[in-house]
Amino acid sequence: MILRVLLLLTLFPLSAVSAPLPIPDQGPALRIQGSNTIGAALGPALVKGLMEQQGLQGVHAEPAEGANEQRVIGKTRQGKTLTIEVDAHGSSTGFAALHKASADLAASSRPIKDSELVDLEPLGDLKSPEAEQVIAIDGLAIILNPRNPLNTLNTEQLAQIFNGEISTWEALGGIGGAIHLYARDDRSGTYDTFKDLVLSRRGKALAASAKRFESSEQLSDAVSQDPQGIGFIGLPYVRQAKAVAIVDGDSQPMLPLNSLIATEDYPLSRRLFFYLPPTSHNPWAKALVDFTQSSKGQAIVAANGFIAQRVQAISVEPRPSMPEDYQAIAREAQRLTVNFRFEEGSASLDNKARQDVQRVVAYIKGHGKLDKQVTLVGFGDIKNDPERAALLSKLRAMAVRRELVKSGVVLRDIRGFGAQMPVAANTADEGRIKNRRVEVWVY
């Protein structure tokens, strides 16, 4: 009997023979609340993908009662209707809805705040690896009118512009007179991210003169039609506007390119999340999270203009500003489009890094690079002693090595470059955390 069961599991994996998800007799099967960045198009597209995978027919989205609210509807072969609701009013509304039990899954374009974590403690640890699911990477693009001649801005200038301290384009070396500010509304995760990455870090607030938008598309279109306009937006919503390169601290100027956002090196890159309460008993919520992390789900992420969590190898052009040893690696190897980062104040991999270990191992195995074809390169933030910074950066690479070795990867080399090549300013905790990273290079 045992042999027969094993044979069946070999021929038909659990995912293929698992029972279809239950269809509720009344009400929605799943309620998603939160980020407009996710809920406008990506969330409904992922829901459609799951419903179609479940064999539902005629799957389509239609507007619900309120603005930025949708229902995704499909029918079983027996003619029974199933509905999933997606409301997109801003990331904070997702956590509030979990608290009120008016949503099953929160969509957020920023990490959960400590205050929200405390409020939702009765639902379990929302920071646990099972609860906090990074579903995509996005970049906040700084957009101008296409006719604006400026091509580069630094984060300090951005803070002064959106605070109103820099009020004319001439003060930035441009032309056009008064600067017109465009921003997302207070409930938006996009606004929260911009506030955290740019404004709050420098003790500044958004100028009262800024025009606020709940819709990403409307904001982008308004900037593209205003020669004096500047705004910030999620990457898929650049539309007809012009994105500029951003500098943070001593980093190189970086455009919001896919490769730089995938590694989270781009100064205004951010993670998009689903938060699934550990106490949840909704099978559709867990199924959507699992589907989103699958290759099909990540293909939908990419098709909607976000950066999928796919591991690819890219060539990096050696530059004179790079350490010579790093240039040597770049000449011989390719870099994978993933960086391992760590929990705040810890040497432990963060939740995304834990998922990325499996993705990197799959890439290494799939490309026959298990035996001494991989080099790990660690970086860190500035320390009083450069040798200590170099040692700590190598220890971070060794922490990643321990995880890869468990899957049979034999490393070629482990290098630590200390505080060299920063991707963010070291003047704030967020920047230092971003600089503490491990790159993966394959030969």
Tens digit of each residue's pLDDT (9 = 90 or more) over 15-31: 333 579 999 999 999 99
Statement to judge: residues 12 and 100 lie in one domain: yes
Mean pLDDT along residues 150-178: 96
Q: Closest by alpha carbon to 379, among 333, 431, 427?
A: 431
| Domain final position from 287, 303, 319 | 303
Q: Predicted confidence band at 1 (pLDDT cuts at 50, 70, 90)?
A: very low
pLDDT-wise least confident of 36-40, 313-317, 345-349:
345-349
In CATH, what number is assigned to the domain containing residue 256? Answer: 3.40.190.10
* pLDDT of amino acid 12: 34
Statement to judge: residues 315 and 435 lie in one domain: yes
Residue 390 CB contacts under 8 Å (≥ 6 apart), including other chains: 416, 417, 418
CA quadruple 142, 144, 146, 151: dihedral positive or negative? negative
Statement to judge: residues 293 and 316 lie in one domain: no
Q: Closest by alpha carbon to 140, among 193, 91, 90?
A: 193
Domain count along the chain: 3
Q: Is-contact 159 254, C-beta < 8 A?
A: no
Which residue stretches of 246-342 are H helix? 258-262, 283-293, 295-303, 324-332
| Domain final position from 262, 291, 322 | 262
β-strand pairing of 245-247 with 105-108: unpaired
Which residue segment(s) compose the domain that 218 sits in?
A: 138-262
Statement to judge: residues 72 and 184 lie in one domain: no
Residue with tokens 């660690």: 378
Tokens of 188: 């938006």
Residue 135 CB contacts under 8 Å (≥ 6 apart), including other chains: 38, 46, 272, 273, 274, 292, 293, 297, 301
* pLDDT of amino acid 76: 96
In CATH, what number is assigned to the domain containing residue 319? Answer: 3.30.1330.60
Tokens of 11: 């021929």
Statement to judge: residues 435 and 357 lie in one domain: yes
Statement to judge: residues 196 and 85 lie in one domain: no
85 burial (CB, 10 Å; 0-12 / 13-18 / 19+) is buried
Q: Predicted confidence band at 44 (pLDDT cuts at 50, 70, 90)?
A: very high
Residue 402 CB contacts under 8 Å (≥ 6 apart), including other chains: none
pLDDT digit string (tens) for 358-367?
Answer: 999 999 999 9
Q: Closest by alpha carbon to 234, among 177, 192, 171?
A: 192
- Of all residues in the chain, what percent carry a pLDDT higher than 70? 96
214/185 Cα distance (integer angstroms): 5
* pLDDT of amino acid 189: 83
Statement to judge: residues 340 and 392 lie in one domain: yes
Statement to judge: residues 22 and 94 lie in one domain: yes
Q: Is-contact 389 380, C-beta < 8 A?
A: yes
Q: Is-contact 251 267, C-beta < 8 A?
A: yes
Q: Is-contact 44 86, C-beta < 8 A?
A: yes
In three-state secondary structure terms, 31 is strand
DSSP per-residue codes, 106-144: EEESSPPPHHHHHHTGGG--TTSTTTEEEEEEEEEEEEE
Statement to judge: residues 112 and 197 lie in one domain: no
Q: For residue 260, is pLDDT > 80?
A: yes
Residue with tokens 């290494």: 364
Q: Closest by alpha carbon to 145, among 174, 166, 184, 173?
A: 174
CA quadruple 32, 132, 203, 141: dihedral positive or negative? negative
| H/E segment holding residue 51 | helix 42-53
| Domain final position from 262, 292, 324 | 262
* pLDDT of amino acid 2: 41
Catalogue the E-assigned strands of 342-409: 374-379
Mean pLDDT along residues 60-84: 96
Statement to judge: residues 356 and 254 lie in one domain: no
Question: Burial code of 296-333, b = ≥16 C-beta within 10 A, e = fewer?
Answer: ebbebbeebebbbbebeeeebeeeeebeeebbebbeeb
Statement to judge: residues 118 and 183 lie in one domain: no
Q: Predicted confidence band at 420 (pLDDT cuts at 50, 70, 90)?
A: very high
How much is the mean pLDDT over the chain? 93
pLDDT digit string (tens) for 201-259?
Answer: 899 999 999 999 999 999 999 999 999 999 999 988 999 999 999 999 889 999 999 89
* φ, ψ for residue 285, nearest 5 deg: -65, -50
Statement to judge: residues 335 and 433 lie in one domain: yes
8 burial (CB, 10 Å; 0-12 / 13-18 / 19+) is exposed
